[in-house]
Amino acid sequence: MKKVTETDFAELYTKFGPMVLRRCRFILKDEEKARDAMQDVFLRIIESRTEVRELCSSLFYVTATRVCLNKIRSEKLRTGVDFDRIGETIADEWGEKEKEKIEASMVLERIFEKRDKKDCLIATLHFADGLTLEETAEQAGMSVSGVRKRIRELQKYSRKFV
């Protein structure tokens, strides 16, 4: 088992930094916030000093996902839903596709606001990122049958909102 130390930082940053930044950009849709989140991912891993069997990309991927989702939740708790921004977006001449994306994101907010954080992670990994059930299970630290069960429950639960 290997402990993460400060001396590992440059090596970890070079090896996993680009992947973590891509993940943060994908979730946060903002370059500055993505870069801040990337730094938080590395700090969280280094400060935890937990022993890990192997420093692999999945550890950084899952940590990046969690950090970004926590940042989104924190921002929403502080500021609430930005209805002005949503209204401006709809008012712009973006077309139906963009309106559908906004409506979908609002539905997703309502779906996940009272659900377990792991449900949001599973849904993001499987539906948004396109990971297989096996890959999703590995990233979420669950069994494939557990992921499959949660997805079924989520699909049933989400029908109330559509």
| DSSP string for residues in the chain | -EE--GGGHHHHHHHHHHHHHHHHHHHH--HHHHHHHHHHHHHHHHHH--EES---HHHHHHHHHHHHHHHHHHHHHHH---HHHHHHHHHSS--HHHHHHHHHHHHHHHHHTTS-HHHHHHHIIIIIS---HHHHHHHHTS-HHHHHHHHHHHHHHHGGG-
Rounded to two decimals, what is the model's pTM? 0.47
Over residues 41-61, the pLDDT tens digits come to: 988 877 765 554 456 677 788
92 pLDDT more than 80: no
User: Higher pLDDT residue, 155 or 47?
Assistant: 155
Give pLDDT, residue 114: 78
107 pLDDT more than 70: no
Over residues 125-151, the pLDDT tens digits come to: 887 777 889 988 988 899 999 999 998
Work out the angle between the directed axes of helices 9-28 and 31-48 (0-180°, nearest 10). 140
Share of the chain above pLDDT 70, in %: 67
For the chain, the average pLDDT equals 76
86 pLDDT more than 50: no
How many Å apart are CA 33 and CA 112, to the nearest integer?
22
